[in-house]
Amino acid sequence: MSRFPHKFPKGYKQFKVMERMVAHNGLTYTEIIKFAFEMTNGAGSFVLDKHRGYWSGAFVYRTPGPYGSDVNGWITKYCKKGDVTGKYYVEDRDVYEKLQEKFVGLSIIKAKAIHAEKHPVTNQRVPCSNGMTLDGKTISTSPIPEVPMRGIKLDDEVIYYRKRNGQTGDAYIQSIKETSKRIAGSQFEISLGLENATIPQLSYDKDRDTFFEMGGFEIQIIKKTL
């Protein structure tokens, strides 16, 4: 279950972004994430420096190799980026038309209300050792693993900074995995949960007290304190 529950019916947010792309003859990356963020959080809530990494998973490209992504984000699957304008345009009209049939005429306020009625929020969240969180149920009795640095553990709120692109934002510890001590010593790997996205397979270099992404880029992670 996501740390950031969805607030709209599945596919609705994607439809509204596509609808806006068509109406405005394309949208830039910043226009897309601003519109999507403010759909959820309200008009005027988007701050570029703070939220530039929002919805980054929607723009991911499948890349070969052991350190690449094994999936395409929905924008890279169904939209195309213009070489000259730098804007994204709807390319898969079949998908767009199917979403139109399902959601056309449904306002943002009404969509939120419908989804909230079908999926009421519960506070009974139980963290489990495999990084999943289920409502009201514990599926593992194993102790929750903790990274031997800064006291980071599952479900902790953190702030991250990706050096490769300057992206920063809020996240939570989605999973923690420890490899066998027979493999070049004990090694930890974590993933970060973002709203509608994940930063997976971050390795921890104990000697340098630093995390690294799959491509070898440094990512700084700081645990939030009350």
Q: What is the block-wise mean pLDDT of the chain (226 residues), using blocks of 10 residues?
A: 62 95 96 93 89 81 60 88 94 95 92 82 43 40 49 80 82 78 61 82 78 84 70
CA distance 82 to 53: 21
Would you state the pLDDT for residue 90?
97
Instruction: Determine the straight-line distance between the first and last CA of the chain, rounded to whole angstroms.
Output: 24
Would you state the pLDDT for residue 29?
93
Q: Does 136 lie in the same domain as 113?
A: no
Amino acid, single-letter form, for residue 193: G
Would you state the pLDDT for residue 143?
46
Whole-model pTM: value is 0.54
Residue after which a domain boundary falls, among 59, 89, 118: 118
The residue among 180, 181, 113, 177 whose CA lies nearest residue 145 is: 177
Would you state the pLDDT for residue 108?
92
Q: Which residues contact 220 (CB under 8 A, 6 or more apart)?
A: 160, 161, 163, 210, 211
Residue after which a domain boundary falls, among 118, 139, 170: 118
Residue after which a domain boundary falls, among 71, 90, 118: 118
Residue 3 lies in a domain: no
Domain coverage including residue 86: 12-118
Q: How many domains are there within the chain?
A: 2
